[in-house]
A = this chain, B = another copy of it.
Amino acid sequence: MGNNAIIGQSGGPTAVINSTLAGVLQACMARGARTIYGMSHGIEGLLEEHVVNLSDTLGSEMDIELLKRTPASYLGTCRYKLPDVTQQPEVYEKIFAILDKLDIGYFFYIGGNDSMDTIAKLSEYGRVTRSDIRFMGVPKTIDNDLALTDHTPGFGSAAKYIGVVMKEIIRDATCYGNKYVTIVEIMGRNAGWLTAAAALARGEDCEGVNLICLPEIPFHIDRFLAKVEQMQKEQNSVVIAVSEGVKLPDGRYVCELSDDARFVDAFGHRKLTGTARYLSNLVANNIDTLTRSIELSTLQRCAGHLTSRTDITEAYQVGGAAAKAAFEGETGKMVALRRISNDPYQVTTELVNVLDVANVEKKVPVDWVNSYRTDMTSEFLQYARPLIQAELTPMYINGLTRHIQRPI
């Protein structure tokens, strides 16, 4: 049984993925791991033996506090899909040889669906080869699309960012007093959780978003234009939240209608962008109004200056729970969050089989969208509101938020 632990971060950045790193790290230290390594750029870096000794680089309490306030992956990330073991067994042999050389007993991978696929494959290979290394998945994604967990660390902070920013956009858009359609594009390829979070903006001090378009609901161009025209008659400013992944009834992404360059990554994901710009031009060409499109782009996933304290805390806790489980002998599992009650909001962690999470996408329940297909229901708000509560005070130094940089 190896004495050391290794941690990797994978997939898209979030504002709280480094809190999870802190949680795994500190729990491993507390449980007596001798050396704790970090993979530089996930499994891809590990394959080239690019690792850092975290016991050295994150030694002080201040380092840990800065880590919690630093967005994106401190260790670097990757989008590397492990090949099938029957086709390229040499990749697995190489990884396990490196892990043995580093005397690894505990392997943690923080990420989303694709990362859980990595954990599933490695733990299965470990089982077959009778390795005693324990492989644990730790959930992370702003998209909130992982199965078997109430929600994912990263979602709460991105949702809070979207709520705050939508309120600001609404204030900005209404102040001219003229006819004005603002279309805001929000991340989420096939699951509309983040776009739905735009519904949080409505409140005592804010009229809220006027239309929310999720990828779960087929997008009809003609009905969209009719709705916008109707809303524009009732009020001057119309603010619309649209997912980058909204699809036509025939299954094509709306952004495929635009002329933007596209790109396919190793997982076959298309780079979706230009939806809001396309729809904004469409509205401008069909309705007598001014339009503006806003892409929240990477700002929504790396806003370390505006995070949910609830999310930061849970991100840390799933890290600690993963370390605890590994040291207690578990492998091939992912830590999940289970909601005990909404009011008061209470959650606990539990373990789920990583195979049941890998490559599955959890979508927004269609009955959480109102019957007019314009807004979210109160069920969604009750689900999402607890996740955005409270703040972690950023550390401002010389006017700017302070981060910690990863070792090169």
Report whether A403 and B72 are in contact in the complex, using a CB–CB cutoff of 8 Å: no
Residues of B with C-beta under 8 A to A388: 399-400
Interface residue A201 (Cβ < 8 Å from any Cβ of B): yes
In the bound complex, residues from chain B placing their C-beta under 8 Å from that of A403 are 167, 171, 205-206
Complex contact B302–A292 (CB within 8 A)? no
Chain A, range 186-205, C-beta contacts under 8 Å to B: 200-201, 203, 205
Q: Which chain A residues numbered 386 to 408 have a C-beta less than 8 Å away from chain B?
A: 388-391, 396, 398-405
Q: Bound state CA distance, A389 and B398, in angstroms?
A: 6
- Is A325 positioned at the interface, with any CB of B under 8 Å from its CB? no
In the assembly, what is the distance between CA of A396 and CA of B308, in Å?
11
Q: Which of B76, B171, B385, B396 contacts A70 (CB 8 A)?
A: B171
Q: Could you give 23 example pairs across A and B, Cβ below 8 Å?
A: A13-B172, A70-B171, A72-B168, A72-B171, A72-B174, A73-B175, A78-B176, A160-B399, A165-B299, A167-B403, A168-B304, A171-B403, A172-B298, A200-B399, A203-B400, A205-B405, A206-B405, A263-B290, A294-B295, A306-B306, A385-B398, A385-B399, A391-B396
Report how far A173 CA is from B73 CA in the complex, Å. 10
Given A261-B284, A263-B290, A400–B164 Cβ distance below 8 Å? Answer: yes
Mask of A294-330 contacts with B, CB within 8 angstroms, 1/0: 1101110111111010000000000000000000000
A169 within 8 A of B: yes
Chain B contacts for A137, CB-based, 8 A: none
CB neighbours of A41 from chain B (8 A) = 176-177
- What's the least CB distance linking A115 to chain B, in Å? 14
Q: Give the residues from 1 to 53 in chain A that come closer than 8 angstroms, CB to CB, to chain B.
A: 13, 40-41, 45
Known: A72-B171, A259-B259. 8 other contacts (CB 8 A): A77-B176, A163-B399, A167-B400, A206-B403, A207-B405, A261-B284, A263-B290, A295-B297
CB of B294 within 8 A of CB of A294, answer no
Please tell me if the beta carbons of A302 and B160 are within 8 angstroms of each other in the complex.
Answer: no
Query: How far does the alpha carbon of A71 sit from the alpha carbon of B389 in the complex, in Å?
Result: 22
Q: Please report A residues at the B interface, Cβ cutoff 8 Å.
A: 13, 40-41, 45, 66, 70-73, 76-79, 160, 163-165, 167-169, 171-177, 200-201, 203, 205-207, 259-261, 263, 277, 281, 284, 290, 292, 294-295, 297-299, 301-306, 308, 385, 388-391, 396, 398-405
Interface centre among A79, A172, A290 (most CB of B within 10 A): A172
A77 touches B299 (CB 8 A): no
Complex Cα distance A163/B399, Å?
Answer: 9
Within the complex, the shortest CB–CB distance from A305 to chain B, in Å, comes to 5
Cβ–Cβ contact B306 & A200, under 8 A:
no
Minimum CB–CB distance from A230 to chain B (whole Å) comes to 20
